[in-house]
Structure 1
Amino acid sequence: MSEAADPAEVEHDKDEGRWRFKPRGLHITWSSNTSYWKMPEKGTDGPAELMAVCWLEIDGSTSEPLSKGKGYALSFKISMTKQDSVWKEGPVFMLAKVGKKGIAKWEKINLGDMRIGNIIEIPYGKLRFEVPKKAEDTRLYFGLYELWTGKWKEGLQIHEAVVEEMPD
């Protein structure tokens, strides 16, 4: 069904408080089936390319806890290889949740007007969240989803996901 996220494909800069998730560092549902996804070679910076799925589910999590009381931002860098009308019919949803039992912060994103070939960062302005000072579990769980239209979609490329500490 899916390959497990490869921790070697996640770069963590502790001094900057920044994580960079290459496509193989994310859990992409159906990624092990080449009819659904074309994955980049291990250790490269190439994108994961969506061939065709009706269930878009991309998840990630930080391997180490985030700092309590600090603000962070999540973004994905994506592009399109072709126009697909399905992206106009249903938005994708991005969510970030601190701790498995935390409250999810989410953003609804319309991909229907993207130009082919342009690499963009979504959401515009990044999805910002704060780690509660009293949180027990401060790992970040995040994802990008489109599960609700039930329609086959294609053409999306995932270049990376980035989690970064924001200045006070």
Structure 2
Amino acid sequence: MSSTNPHSDGNPDLIKYGKDTNGKDDVSVPPGALSIIWGNDQRYWKNIGDLTKNPDSAVAELIQVCWLEVTGSIKLKPEMKEKTYEVGFEVSLTPDAFGWSNSPVYIMGKRREKPIWRKMNLANNKGGIFNIPETPLIVAPPGDGGSDNDKVYFGLYEVWSGRWKGGLKIHKAFVREL
């Protein structure tokens, strides 16, 4: 994790395109494929497992930051472009997690120019792995068949409170067909 850049840039080669048990698209974005502000600075983040060699079992753990910004995107395959998807993150909190009670997180999803946001309080979720947001964050095709309809963007943010927070584990982001 040594780098002159304190921010980690996601490696899109780690993204896994698959299908769920009903044959719907299920894209898994491991932590190594996410861009994390301060992600290369061990004072703020640590990696559990190898983010590049064994991405399915790796976890990015937040030690402490006052600026939480985790983003990613997937390139849609041609057969995926006209479908509707939900985006989100699979996360957990460590037993000593702190700073979340008055610092809700915002989850963003978008296709093309208009983002959709969901606000969520993590303070009440201290047991095991859970998905955020709790209700599906839906990104639909733009409808005009434009040539730039080939990406889905998503993000996890808490940059407004200025408060320090820690103990968040990011297991993966996901993009799932509805």
Equivalent position amino acid for 1:105 in 2 = I
Of 152, 166, 171, which aligns to 1:154?
166
Amino acid paired to 2:138:
R
| Residue type at the aligned position of 1:131 | P
Instruction: Classify the secondary structure of the residue corresponding to 1:77.
Output: strand
Q: Which runs of 5+ in 2 are unaligned?
A: 1-5
Query: Any unmatched runs of 5+ in structure 1?
Result: none
1:46 is matched with which residue? 58
Residues 149 and 135 of structure 1, relative CA distance in 2, 3 Å threshold: farther
In the aligned structure 2, how far is the partner of 1:153 from the partner of 1:135?
41
Percent of residue pairs bearing the same amino acid type = 34
Task: Point out the structure with the larger strand share.
Answer: 2
Q: Secondary structure at the match of 1:81?
A: strand
The count of residues paired between Structure 1 and Structure 2 equals 163
> 1:29–1:106: structure 2 CA closer, same or farther, 3 Å change rule?
same
Taking structure 2 as the reference length, what is the TM-score of the superposition?
0.84
Runs of 4+ in 1 over 6 A off after TM superposition: none
8 Å CA contact retained: 1:84, 1:155: yes
Contact (CA 8 Å) 2:98, 2:166: kept in 1 or not? no
Q: What letter corresponds to residue 17 of structure 2 in structure 1?
A: H
Report SS of the residue matched to 1:115: coil
Q: Structure 1 CA distance, aligned partners of 2:40 and 2:103? A: 25
Aligned counterpart, 1:128: 138
CA distance in 2, matches of 1:2, 1:63: 22
RMSD: 1.8
Given the alignment, which residue of 6, 10, 16 partners 2:15? 10
